[in-house]
């Protein structure tokens, strides 16, 4: 495995100078790396602070070559989503004030530095974007060391799973991966770094190509595949792809909660799912349910397995006290892969400690069972309090999906003068003419009565990001506007409410 401390030009070039890529040219990646490394280092003579670089690249050859060039040159590197709109780009450019922008498809110009000097950044810092459903672009500050800690934790965990001896695990465990997730996102980037640092092979392909049945020549039996739940659902429509999925070493599933019907179908097809829990702040997964555990018995909602060796998970109450097993509370994470904080152009607002977050609270609620396995209940900010009862949307969404009458569904709470919050379901019906009364009746006794949605709003499509997460901010705005228009028009009240 690549030494986490050895990330200079020679070491990175040696790791790039091999036939390690499928679907893209390793030789071309090396050429892009050499070109951009020479360009950056030539501008640092005489020595000065390395330039702050923004990389917004959809082409994998350009992304990989430029990413490793910036790392080798010690440049502070920001990763950008090429699909951001003009408003988001304006916000990002103002926030980070890049010296250089590397993008082969976008026409972006670095801003003139009329403002105070940018916040100093740690050496080899890598800023990974996150925003989730909040709509606000933020960057998590990572270093090569925190990212390699995540790689090491992943390898140690699966060495134990595959029973690779402790004396030879670092020499034997090679990570091969089939990547269909965006490289600028932590879910795609960590696949790159696992393969790169362990001497493995990385296959890169657009998801739509895989969905159409075209697979790259990477042996699945020695490889990992990472998917989000909506991608797994779409792939399982094809009998040939379903069979192909069963051959993988493990199919990592994360990014958003998976619903029980999807998991049951995957289990019936013997797909070796490894359910994962992690985030940008932790450099991807910090808990994983192994394929053997997944296939052996019925998964409970939100069961994501054991913490990885590099992470510690505790459950805490509102006072920060650690709770006993099987008690629901706030999830607290300590890990060597934790980022340094969120980047801010204002030093006074820098949300970082000198080393890293000591304890990270991701707004998720859950519990640890007697075996030490983590179970996710839902997000604290998504929790609905209706009539004094705590209600978690994921449970209701799973029950509505189980009716087989919806393609997609999101549940949230809307302000209500009587209940405090009214449980509201926004759904995409399987059939356009399917009324909410039919869905409501099918939910039946799957849920306690107080958990039944009081409002039902049909839509053509739910807003999700590329990782499959719901944009709850947009959905809340849609629901409020819909309810307001319903009150004004007095139209078909039976469709929207009970």
φ/ψ of residue 429, rounded to 5: -70, 150
pLDDT of residue 133: 37
CATH no. for 383-496: 3.30.300.30
Q: How far is CA 239 from the centre of its chain?
A: 27
Q: At what angle do helices 186-198 and 144-161 cross, to 10 degrees?
A: 70
pLDDT of residue 41: 86
Q: Can you read off the two tokens belonging to residue 17?
A: 């100078």
Q: Can you read off the two tokens belonging to residue 50?
A: 């390395």
Q: Which of 388, 386, 366, 390 is nearest to 377 (CA)?
A: 366
> CA–CA separation, 44 vs 101, rounded Å?
17
Q: Are 452 and 411 in contact (CB under 8 A)?
A: no
> CA–CA separation, 257 vs 301, rounded Å?
9
Establish whether the linkage from the previous residue to 46 is cis, with ω within 30° of 0.
Answer: yes
pLDDT of residue 498: 38
Bridge partners (DSSP) of residue 227 are 253
For strands 341-342 and 138-143, give the pairing.
Answer: antiparallel
Q: Are 171 and 374 in contact (CB under 8 A)?
A: no
* pLDDT tens per residue across span 321-362: 999 999 999 999 999 999 999 987 665 555 544 456 789 999
**Would you mind telling me the total number of residues written for the chain in this entry?**
498
User: Please, what is the end-to-end C-alpha distance for the chain in angstroms?
Assistant: 59
What residues does CATH 3.40.50.12780 cover in the chain?
A: 1-379
Strand order in the sheet with 21-22: 21-22, 202-204, 177-179, 224-227, 250-253, 273-279, 284-288, 303-307, 374-379, 364-368, 329-335, 311-316
pLDDT of residue 430: 87
Residue ranges, the chain, pLDDT below 70: 1-6, 44-48, 110-119, 132-135, 165-172, 298-300, 345-356, 466-467, 486-498
> CA–CA separation, 155 vs 1, rounded Å?
10
> CA–CA separation, 137 vs 344, rounded Å?
11
Q: What is residue 427's DSSP assignment? A: E
Whole-prediction pTM: 0.84
φ/ψ of residue 460, rounded to 5: -85, -30
What residues does CATH 3.30.300.30 cover in the chain?
A: 383-496
Q: Which of 141, 174, 138 is nearest to 158 (CA)?
A: 174
CATH superfamily of 1-379: ANL, N-terminal domain (3.40.50.12780)
Q: At what angle do helices 186-198 and 9-16 cross, to 10 degrees?
A: 90
């Amino acid at each position: 495995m690549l030494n986490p401390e050895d990330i200079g030009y020679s070491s990175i070039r040696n790791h790039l100078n091999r036939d390690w890529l499928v679907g893209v040219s390793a030789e071309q990646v090396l050429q892009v790396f050499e070109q951009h490394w020479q360009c950056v280092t030539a501008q640092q003579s005489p020595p000065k602070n390395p330039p702050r670089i923004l990389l917004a690249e959809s082409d994998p050859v350009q992304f990989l070559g430029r990413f490793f060039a910036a790392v080798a040159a010690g440049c502070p590197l920001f990763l950008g989503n090429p699909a951001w709109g003009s408003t988001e780009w304006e916000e990002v450019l103002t926030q980070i004030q890049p010296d250089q922008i590397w993008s082969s498809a976008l026409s972006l110009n670095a801003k003139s530095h009329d403002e105070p000097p940018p916040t100093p950044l740690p050496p080899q810092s890598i800023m990974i974007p996150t925003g989730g459903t909040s709509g606000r672009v933020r960057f998590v500050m990572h270093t090569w060391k925190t990212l390699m800690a995540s790689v090491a934790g992943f390898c140690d965990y699966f060495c134990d799973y595959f029973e690779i001896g402790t004396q030879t695990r670092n020499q034997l465990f090679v990570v091969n991966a089939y990547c269909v997730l965006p490289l600028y996102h932590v879910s795609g980037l960590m696949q790159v770094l696992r393969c790169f640092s362990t001497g493995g092979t990385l296959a890169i392909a657009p998801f739509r190509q895989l969905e159409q049945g075209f697979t790259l020549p990477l042996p699945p039996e020695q490889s990992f595949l990472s998917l989000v739940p909506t991608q797994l659902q779409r792939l399982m429509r094809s009998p040939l792809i379903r069979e192909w999925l069963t051959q993988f070493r493990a199919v990592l599933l994360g990014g958003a909660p998976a619903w029980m019907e999807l998991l049951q179908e995957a289990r019936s097809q013997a797909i070796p799912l490894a359910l994962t829990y992690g985030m940008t702040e932790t450099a991807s997964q910090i808990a994983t349910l192994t394929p053997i555990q997944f296939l052996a018995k019925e998964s409970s909602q939100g069961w994501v397995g054991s913490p990885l060796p590099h992470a510690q998970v505790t459950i805490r109450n509102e006072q920060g006290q650690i709770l006993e097993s099987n008690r629901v509370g706030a999830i607290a994470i300590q890990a060597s892969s934790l980022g340094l904080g969120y980047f801010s152009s204002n030093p006074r607002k820098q949300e970082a400690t000198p080393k890293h977050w000591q304890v990270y609270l991701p707004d998720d609620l859950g519990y640890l069972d007697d075996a030490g396995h983590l179970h996710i209940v839902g997000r604290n900010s998504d929790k609905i309090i209706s009539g004094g009862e705590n209600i978690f949307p994921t449970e209701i969404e799973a029950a509505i999906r189980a009716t087989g009458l919806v393609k997609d569904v999101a549940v949230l709470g809307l302000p209500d003068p009587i209940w405090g919050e009214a449980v509201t379901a926004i759904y995409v019906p399987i059939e356009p003419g399917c009324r909410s009364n039919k869905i409501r009746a099918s939910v039946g006794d799957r849920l306690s009565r107080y958990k039944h949605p009081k409002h039902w709003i049909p839509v053509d499509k739910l807003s999700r990001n590329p990782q499959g997460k719901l944009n709850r901010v947009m959905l809340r705005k849609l629901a409020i506007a819909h309810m307001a228009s319903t009150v004004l028009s007095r139209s078909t009240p039976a469709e929207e409410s009970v």
